[in-house]
Structure 1
Amino acid sequence: MHKVLNALVGVTAHQLKMSANLDKPELEVAPSSEDTAKQAESNQETAMVTESKTEVVAKTEKTEKESELDKYWKAVKENPNDFTGWTYLLQFVEQENNLKAAEEAYDAFFSHYPYCYGYWKKYSDMEKKFTDIDRALAVFERGVKAIPLSVELWLHYLNFYITEFGSNEDGEEKIRKLYERSITAAGTDFRSDKLWDSYISWENMRHNKKKVTQLYKRLLSIPTQLYSHHYDNFKKHVMENHPKDILSLDEFLKLRQEVVKAGTVKVDEEDAGAEVPPGEDAPPGVDAPPGEEAVGGMADEDEAKKLREWILEHQETIHRLNEDEVSKRWTYEEAIRRPYFHVKPLERAQLKNWREYLDFEIENGSHERVVVLFERCMIACALYEDFWMKYAKYLEQHNVDGVRSVYQRACTIHLLKKPYIHLSWAAFEERQGNYPEASDVLSNIEKNVPNLVMVSMRRISLERRQGNHENVENLYQSYITKAASPAIRSFYSIKFARYLRKIRGNVEKAREVLSEALEKDKKNEKLFLQLLDLEYQTQPIEEQRVLDVFSNALKSDLSADFKVKVSQRRMEFLEDFGTCIQRITDAYDEHQKLVKDHNSDRKKKHPDSIDDNHAPPEKKHKHDKYKSETNGSSATGDASSHHTSADANTYNYHWPSYSNSYAPYHSHYGAYGSYGSYYPS
């Protein structure tokens, strides 16, 4: 207990002492120079560490951003047709405000999807924000060249140009030229009304009434969606302005002359015989007082009214004709639900409407309107090769360069992997004598979509038609070597052998090609038939070579049905060309054994399939006929009927079966153009 009290007393005493010391003023001790140096060094180290940490954080964030960007790029590089992936990439570069990355992304995007007008504006806005006006202007120029029918893109471009260059000394003239370019490119589009309204409004703001009149005259003869709205505005324009203010001088004087002439004739008829009092004529050079007029003339207001009536009367006729043209197209235009580009497929009804609209315009419209409609269609149907081919076919009658432009846009931008449009382009270039371009077109589609037999054969045919036989043989050898399957290899081998036999006359090499193919594809019936056909056509025919082919086929692992057909054909060959009767009889015996074994095997597998009730109708008919003939003969026997029966029994080669055996071969190669159905790509 005493120890605890002593401890408490000690603590209290210590606290009192500390309190006393706190009440005394502290003496400030000046730091030494050494301490100051250490403190400065410490502060510097702290600053360096902080700066280093900041740099590390910044680099880490930058690395993370670059990693994200690489991921977006990877997606679109692996699948350039992933439109959604492209939109994610563009959104990312816009958010990061990285101009260099944005330029790279936009340029790559537009190489695949140039018809997306909204992204052209976004690209221009980024250039304007981070660089200068000229680069933004260049982007708009690229955009309107890529999609010249985009009214929306032209309006964005015009608004940009007016804002940036409208105050320049020559700004008005340049803006007018840009408007004229836009009207030339897109002004005949059925839905170009906003572009015309913008041009007219801009001229009205500058009080260029005469130019406004000229614009209306051009517009009112073009079938557009708001044709009636434009005509009402034109009438308002005429009624609110004096004719001399809205017409050119030549037009005004000519029209006034006609109106005054008509008015003078009317006065002369009403006042015929009336005399003018002498001295009533105004002195030459002196204007008549307001409200008065010379004899035979008109008051200004009456004249203006008459002029307006003449203007509107003339324009009414044009308006009626234009209204008729609009009504012809209205149904087609109303059916267009998606006039802009999108990667999503169009409905069948939409595609049908476009086809019918194009057919109508080709039959009834002018060349200019047909081209404009095709260009509109290409925006909405850019991913459908039949529309591009229809466009190219139409232009062949008018403009060769235009055809080439259509093919280039289709094959190098929108339809990189569509073979038929490439084949069509290659054929067009070949017709123009442009063989190198035709070869390049076929090579490009082959790189984009390898192993297409139709493209390979067209390349070979192109070289053959030019007489480049060395290239032909090299291509055949290359395709045979690189064939994706035995069936395709055999196909090329058969084609190559035919070429060597028919074009080059090299039977030995053709035989070698087919023999090599048989070594690798021993169960291919067509190879045997082709080799057999080759030997048949050799002049003079070599019996032993033909028999060797028959023998190899019968010894192979081919189907029993095929062997029976081959055996039948061997007997026919020996009957026609054989030099030894023993071979004929041996072949007959072998054939009978082969047929017997084949029928026995079939009966084991399908016991009920080989009898009279299940025989083919034609065979059953012949069998019944034969039985009726033999049963109907006399007891002593009719020599002629017996001889006929003996011949039929002796040389029964089953000709119906044989004649059908070769049919699959001919039917397949007769339709060799339909590669897709037989050789999957």
Structure 2
Amino acid sequence: MEIDGEDITLEEELDDKDDDNDNGDQLQNPKLRSDSNSDSDSDSDDESQQIEELRILEIELSSNPSNYDSHVQYIKLLRKMGEIDKLKQAREAMNNVFPLSSDMWRDWAKDEASISGPEGFTGVEKIYDRGVFDYLSVSLWCDYLNYIQEHDPSVRECSPDGISKARNLFERALTAAGQFELAVLHTIDENDIKAKELQVQRIRNIFHRQLSVPLVNLRSTLVAYKAWEVEQGTDLDAKSSEVDGISSHLASAYQKAMEAYNARAQHEEQISMQNLSDTEKFRNFMNYLKFEKSVGDPARVQVLYERAMVDFPISSDLWLDYTRYLDRTLKVGNVLRDVYSRATKNCPWIGELWVLYMLSLERGRAPEKEISSVFEKSLQCTLSTIEEYLDLFLTRVHGLRRRIICGAEVNDVLDYSLIRETFQHASDYLSPHLKNTDGLLRLYAYWARLEMNLGKDLVAARGVWESLLKISGSTMEAWQGFIAMETESGHIREARSIYKRCYSKRFAGTGSEDICHSWLRFEEEFGTLEDFDHAMQKVTPRLEELKLYRIQQETKASTDQSEISGKRIAREKRKGGSTATDEESSAKRQKNTAQTQKKGYEDKDQLQKHEVNDAQETKIDLEKTDSAPEKQMKGSDAVRTKGYTDQCTLFISNIHFKANSEDIRKFFSDVGGGLAYVDFVDDEHLTSAITKNKQMLFGKRLSIARSDPKQSRRDGRRVPRDQGRLCVPSITLFGSISTTASC
């Protein structure tokens, strides 16, 4: 047998594997483990830690069964702890979701063999058979074949059934076939000339097959073949690596194999190089695949894809490329089914793989039960986008529609109700995520069309559109789709009624205008003159309204843009221009501030509130201005006028229209006087005035509170709005009274 360029026997291969396994992790015996742990506190601590790790992993896997790393860690930990029953369940659970690596299959088979003994042969055989299905692994095939030869009684005794069984296995694993047939030859009775000749010819054919395939060290295989022929009595130079003495047919096949190997040697070297990054190795595989595709041998391309999958099992691009190639070239149902099964296990998050899987099953005329099972599995996976789920549902419906129309189902009876159920499932699943999108419109439009054409149910089709309008009624396309269905089926009156329902709705962009114009075109093509006039009467005011709205929006946008530009220019000027000089007068700054505040307030109440503050502040500034010449004459060391602080000021609101300054003065005659803002000479009189809060004046309850001069000047005094606020001139009794304007 030739593996990786070296001729080795199955016995040597088995010995190597046994040596490796002796040094590896072994399945622990729970009893032995328990006895040893009782003698060591540290071992007890380790066991407690392992139990806690096991509990955490079980929780993680119960909540997220698609966590590959957690599955691997869980199996390793169970194997280390010797939890046999849980270990078997864990392996089965992982294999239901993911393919296992060749090492994991080898460990599983070895554990099962050590536990069950000879009576568990069938179970171990099934494990090996499942293992060689997941990935192409020469070493696992060798283990499988060695196990069959050693533990299958019929094969070990070389019975006819055993030889047939082993031969079939070796045909599936050509790397081991040659050694097996040589072993069978030695079991044949020397006197049975016919049987012996038949076996010799069988071995010769295997050699011929091997020499016609481009393999590493093909010359050494030729030498081995010639030596074997010499043993059979053929006159050949056994030590020569040339084609002298062999048949012309075999010589030609050997030369072609050598040429094919030489053409591939560089690619083989590149994918076998050590210390390559995954990116470089992947690129080398793709270059090799490109070369093999150009040669045009599908079998070699498929084997190379399988070799690449061993190194890149979760590369979605590689699986997609592989499956598409098989769909184009091979088109063998069983092979495609196996590849897609492994692809979706390795990359379950790729929606396109599930779509291609269902299409492949349909091409292979798979039963409805199998296709339905794959579809349900796909919905349990976490895909990247919601659109991928939409593709899954649509692919499922497409397949059902095609098979119902063709009537090709023999064992399955397909009914339209299955399509309706799938659409309803899709609606429940997708509607919350695809509201007002083209994807949801496509789904519902397709559903309604099938209800009409395949289900022959107009009421159901209308119900589908009505359901869509409840979800996406703000999209014009949904209404247009409903109208189009009614129009195409000749239901003009129903289409007109839909126009009447939607022409006044607001749609995105120019949709509102478009639906109005669409109604007019509809009446021109299908309606009477009265229908057209009625539609014109309805849509004309609506179009005028929309036109005015567009103008307002454009004007507002233009104004906003101008303001933004103005602010930007002002900021640039402030950054680049000079600052105000220290000589600018206080009165001028106050005037500018007052003008800005007046201009900024649109509400009269706010303007009046700020005028009160401004009046008080202006009074102080005017006093300063009037005394300025006198102070300038006295010299620069003159004392500045004391600022006005409002410390003894009241604020009064809710004043009756009939009240005047004299009435206010009389109201406060026993404690002081004033109107609106009342200034008292001291805090004692102010406190007494506050006690009159909520008392009646001309049938109106007054609100009296201490003035707060620390409130933000920008926001103004927070004067409660009331239409009974009275404007009276400033008067003074024990202080000054400032007034507000009436609202």
Tell me the TM-score range normalised by the shorter chain: 0.5 to 0.7
Structure 2 residue identity aligned to 1:480? S
Candidates 215, 222, 226, aligned match of 2:217: 226
Q: CA deviation at 1:430?
A: 3.5
Candidates 77, 82, 86, aligned match of 2:71: 86
Structure 2 residue identity aligned to 1:334? E
Q: Is the 8 A contact 2:516 2:543 kept in 1?
A: yes
Task: Tell me the distance in 2 between the aligned counterparts of 1:464 and 1:157.
Answer: 45
Candidates 396, 419, 422, aligned match of 2:354: 422
What TM-score do the two structures reach when normalised by structure 2?
Answer: 0.53
Relative distance call for 1:557 and 1:593 in structure 2 (3 A) is: closer
Task: Tell me the distance in 2 between the aligned counterparts of 1:226 and 1:61.
Answer: 51
Q: CA deviation at 1:203?
A: 9.4
Task: For residue 492 of structure 2, give the secondary structure of its aligned residue in structure 1.
Answer: coil
The answer for the alignment partner of 1:480 in structure 2 is 427
Q: Is the 8 A contact 1:439 1:462 kept in 2?
A: no
| CA deviation map 1:329-386 (0-9, x unaligned) | 33443343599xx9x999651552364155245x1x3x65455445445545554342
Q: Is the 8 A contact 1:532 1:546 kept in 2?
A: yes
Q: CA deviation at 1:563?
A: 0.9
Task: For residue 132 of structure 1, give the secondary structure of its aligned residue in structure 2.
Answer: helix
Q: CA deviation at 1:95?
A: 2.0
Structure 2 residue identity aligned to 1:88? Q
Q: CA deviation at 1:505?
A: 5.4
| CA deviation map 1:212-256 (0-9, x unaligned) | 877644432221122234335556x37xxxx6x5126xxx4xx79
| CA deviation map 1:628-677 (0-9, x unaligned) | xxxxxxxxxxxxxxxxxxxxxxxxxxxxxxxxxxxxxxxxxxxxxxxxxx
Task: Tell me the distance in 2 between the aligned counterparts of 1:546 and 1:163.
Answer: 79
Task: Tell me the distance in 1 between the aligned counterparts of 2:99 and 2:455.
Answer: 48
The answer for the alignment partner of 1:151 in structure 2 is 138
The answer for the alignment partner of 1:675 in structure 2 is none
Relative distance call for 1:83 and 1:234 in structure 2 (3 A) is: same
Task: Tell me the distance in 2 between the aligned counterparts of 1:492 and 1:333.
Answer: 49
The answer for the alignment partner of 1:311 in structure 2 is 245
Task: Tell me the distance in 1 between the aligned counterparts of 2:463 and 2:347.
Answer: 40
| CA deviation map 1:407-433 (0-9, x unaligned) | 44444x445454333333433444455
Task: Tell me the distance in 2 between the aligned counterparts of 1:313 and 1:433.
Answer: 46
The answer for the alignment partner of 1:597 in structure 2 is 549
Relative distance call for 1:106 and 1:171 in structure 2 (3 A) is: farther
The answer for the alignment partner of 2:396 in structure 1 is 459
Candidates 320, 324, 327, aligned match of 1:390: 324
Candidates 502, 508, 513, aligned match of 2:464: 513
Candidates 472, 482, 485, aligned match of 1:531: 482
Candidates 464, 469, 473, aligned match of 1:522: 473
Structure 2 residue identity aligned to 1:246? E
Candidates 347, 352, 355, aligned match of 2:286: 352
Task: Tell me the distance in 1 between the aligned counterparts of 2:442 and 2:371.
Answer: 24
The answer for the alignment partner of 1:334 in structure 2 is 269
Q: Is the 8 A contact 2:483 2:495 kept in 1?
A: yes
Task: Tell me the distance in 1 between the aligned counterparts of 2:354 and 2:68.
Answer: 23
Corresponding position: 1:583 with 2:534: yes
Q: CA deviation at 1:523?
A: 1.5
Gaps of 5+ in 1: 1-50, 257-302, 611-681
The answer for the alignment partner of 1:48 in structure 2 is none
Task: Tell me the distance in 2 between the aligned counterparts of 1:227 and 1:520.
Answer: 69
Task: Tell me the distance in 2 between the aligned counterparts of 1:102 and 1:91.
Answer: 9
Q: Percent identity?
A: 14
Q: CA deviation at 1:62?
A: 7.7
Q: CA deviation at 1:152?
A: 1.0
Task: Tell me the distance in 2 between the aligned counterparts of 1:100 and 1:153.
Answer: 24
The answer for the alignment partner of 1:186 in structure 2 is 173
The answer for the alignment partner of 1:606 in structure 2 is 558
Corresponding position: 1:247 with 2:232: yes
Q: CA deviation at 1:562?
A: 1.4
Relative distance call for 1:124 and 1:438 in structure 2 (3 A) is: closer
Relative distance call for 1:168 and 1:391 in structure 2 (3 A) is: closer
Relative distance call for 1:560 and 1:374 in structure 2 (3 A) is: closer
| CA deviation map 1:516-567 (0-9, x unaligned) | 432343322221222332343352622xx55543443343243362112222
Q: Is the 8 A contact 1:493 1:517 kept in 2?
A: yes
Relative distance call for 1:338 and 1:569 in structure 2 (3 A) is: farther
Task: For residue 311 of structure 1, give the secondary structure of its aligned residue in structure 2.
Answer: coil
The answer for the alignment partner of 1:322 in structure 2 is 257
Relative distance call for 1:136 and 1:105 in structure 2 (3 A) is: farther
Task: Tell me the distance in 2 between the aligned counterparts of 1:141 and 1:349.
Answer: 36
Q: Is the 8 A contact 1:117 1:143 kept in 2?
A: no
Task: Tell me the distance in 1 between the aligned counterparts of 2:312 and 2:524.
Answer: 63
Relative distance call for 1:221 and 1:178 in structure 2 (3 A) is: farther
Q: CA deviation at 1:582?
A: 4.3
Task: Tell me the distance in 1 between the aligned counterparts of 2:62 and 2:184.
Answer: 47
| CA deviation map 1:258-303 (0-9, x unaligned) | xxxxxxxxxxxxxxxxxxxxxxxxxxxxxxxxxxxxxxxxxxxxx9
Task: For residue 223 of structure 1, give the secondary structure of its aligned residue in structure 2.
Answer: coil
Relative distance call for 1:67 and 1:334 in structure 2 (3 A) is: same
Task: Tell me the distance in 2 between the aligned counterparts of 1:138 and 1:76.
Answer: 26
What TM-score do the two structures reach when normalised by structure 1?
Answer: 0.58
The answer for the alignment partner of 1:37 in structure 2 is none
Which of 311-320 and 199-208 deviates more? 199-208
What are the equivalent positions in structure 2 for 1:193-272 lying under 5 Å apart? 195=176, 216-234=207-225, 237=227, 246-247=231-232, 252=234
Structure 2 residue identity aligned to 1:186? A
Relative distance call for 1:203 and 1:428 in structure 2 (3 A) is: closer
Root mean square deviation, CA, Å: 4.9
Candidates 65, 78, 83, aligned match of 1:98: 83
Q: CA deviation at 1:606?
A: 3.5
Structure 2 residue identity aligned to 1:170? E
Q: Is the 8 A contact 1:395 1:402 kept in 2?
A: no
Task: Tell me the distance in 2 between the aligned counterparts of 1:508 and 1:448.
Answer: 35
Q: Is the 8 A contact 1:115 1:146 kept in 2?
A: yes
Q: Is the 8 A contact 1:358 1:374 kept in 2?
A: no
Which of 315-324 and 520-529 deviates more? 315-324
The answer for the alignment partner of 1:565 in structure 2 is 514
Task: For residue 558 of structure 1, give the secondary structure of its aligned residue in structure 2.
Answer: coil
The answer for the alignment partner of 2:378 in structure 1 is 445
The answer for the alignment partner of 2:112 in structure 1 is 127
Q: CA deviation at 1:601?
A: 1.7
The answer for the alignment partner of 2:417 in structure 1 is 470
| CA deviation map 1:562-590 (0-9, x unaligned) | 11222222333344435236436534454
Structure 1 residue identity aligned to 2:358? A
Relative distance call for 1:606 and 1:348 in structure 2 (3 A) is: farther
Structure 1 residue identity aligned to 2:120? R
Q: Is the 8 A contact 2:292 2:300 kept in 1?
A: no
Structure 1 residue identity aligned to 2:212? S
Corresponding position: 1:498 with 2:449: yes
Task: Tell me the distance in 2 between the aligned counterparts of 1:426 and 1:65.
Answer: 42
The answer for the alignment partner of 2:409 in structure 1 is none
Q: CA deviation at 1:123?
A: 2.3
Structure 1 residue identity aligned to 2:470? E
What are the equivalent positions in structure 2 for 1:6-21 lying under 5 Å apart? none
The answer for the alignment partner of 1:617 in structure 2 is none
Relative distance call for 1:147 and 1:604 in structure 2 (3 A) is: same
Task: Tell me the distance in 1 between the aligned counterparts of 2:489 and 2:161.
Answer: 78
